[in-house]
Amino acid sequence: MDSLKALLYPRCYLKRKTGDLLSPFFKELIVMAPSEKDKEKIESITSKLISSEVKAWLPSPLGDKADELQAGISALTQWGEQLGLGERLSFETLYSAITASQDSEVQSIMDALKGHDQEDVLMAARAFLALSLEADKREDELEAEIEKVEERARRISQLVEDASLLPQNERPVFFIQPLSKARERLRAWVRLAFSAEKLPQAWPVGESIIIKDMLDTAYESVTKGKIPKDLFTIYMPLDETLLRNEDLIYKARGIFKDLLRVLEGTCSRSAEDFDSDSEFKELVDALSSTLESKKWEQLGAPRLIFTFYEGAAWARLMVAAAKLSDDEIKLPGDHEKLCASFFIV
């Protein structure tokens, strides 16, 4: 496993703030691309991040069909705008409108994306993820615009009002919002990702509490009632000045790299191993102290959780959580080496 590399799932677009929050831990953030046409969209977010780099991972090329997929997604998003859903419509709103539409043109586009009469489940997964990518990208851009407007309003208020009379601004709190259509996203992600011969050598990071709940529930089902164990939780700094502090990032990543080394080989270990591992405990305490985790916990900051699924491979749990069968999905060859996942929630 390559240290300081994360494979994010099941979203196919990395939001700016999510990327920045992960900067004290991971240097490279890998995001799956539904097709060749999506790689540039995914990697363009790097220029907006503080210190991490985003890399697009394409499980398998589409070739000539990539243009067809892109044209279909563009047509559907334009249809949503014309319907009055807005230029920055959410994925859930757009997808619900599309699936409920009786418009013959919309249905024709959807049928083409899915493979007409004989549905291509892999192509349908690509289409679903490409549509979610476009909606997530627009949503992120809207959030950035709103932040700029709010900042201008705050500065104007300071200029025209007596500062002593203005309410004291509390530190802004950023939440990792629950993913819309989470089960569908996970199912599509698993279908496409596991169609590749192998996954990137990176630590998996699931986004939002809903995804964690799905994998935890899958583990309890697969193991007939066992409970997964969260080995550690680190609350993340919300202060951008801290996230831009190169010395802090360097120190945190150094500790985290050592911690990842200790976490290798999860499928051959037990919870008791970690409970009695003094080096593991020392590294977790050092990372927590460096990032002032307790302080940010009191402010309700997002957190990075490392969940250990003793005796159950992460890849197999992904299939179970997506409500797919082993007959439908071919697991990667080295899937038995990892029995854990990070989550940002």
Say how far apart CA 208 and CA 215 lie, in whole Å: 12
pLDDT score recorded for residue 339:
97
DSSP 73-88: HHHHHHHHIIIII-TT
More confident residue, 231 or 197: 231
What is the per-residue pLDDT across 313-335, written as a single tens digit (0 to 9) for each?
Answer: 999 999 999 999 888 898 877 67
What is the per-residue pLDDT across 138-188, written as a single tens digit (0 to 9) for each?
Answer: 888 877 777 777 667 767 766 666 555 555 555 455 678 888 899 999 999
CA 197, chain centre distance (Å): 22
What is the per-residue pLDDT across 229-274, written as a single tens digit (0 to 9) for each?
Answer: 999 999 999 988 899 899 999 999 999 999 999 999 999 999 999 9
- Residue 85 tokens read as 């859903």
> Where is 230: in which H helix or E strand?
strand 229-235
Is residue 293's pLDDT more than 80?
A: yes
Is residue 76's pLDDT more than 90?
A: no
| Residue 183: how many other CB atoms lie within 10 Å | 15
* DSSP structural state of residue 237: P
Largest Cα separation within the chain, whole Å, is: 68
190 pLDDT tier (thresholds 50, 70, 90): very high
Q: Which of these, 232, 205, 185, lies nearest to 344 by C-alpha position? A: 205
- The rounded percent of the chain whose pLDDT value lies above 90 is 59
Helices 121-160/104-114 angle, 10° precision: 120
pLDDT score recorded for residue 154:
66
Tell me the pairing of strands 53-57 and 229-235.
unpaired
Query: Contact, 280 vs 245, CB < 8 A?
Result: no
Tell me the pairing of strands 340-344 and 203-207.
parallel
Sign for the CA dihedral angle at 284, 288, 291, 296 comes to positive
Say how far apart CA 226 and CA 224 lie, in whole Å: 6
Query: Contact, 157 vs 166, CB < 8 A?
Result: yes
Distances (CA, A) of 29 to 4, 18, 55, 189, 307: 9, 10, 6, 16, 19
Q: Which of these, 71, 54, 53, lies nearest to 62 by C-alpha position? A: 71
**Mean pLDDT computed over 64-79:** 82
pLDDT score recorded for residue 331:
85
**Mean pLDDT computed over 192-214:** 95
Question: Phi then psi for 252, rounded to 5 degrees?
Answer: -65, -45
Q: In the β-sheet with 53-57, what is the strand arrangement from edge to edge?
A: 53-57, 28-32, 5-9, 203-207, 340-344, 303-308, 229-235
* DSSP structural state of residue 171: P
Say how far apart CA 196 and CA 245 lie, in whole Å: 38
43 pLDDT tier (thresholds 50, 70, 90): very high
Q: Which of these, 95, 69, 67, lies nearest to 83 by C-alpha position? A: 95
Average predicted confidence (pLDDT) for the chain: 87
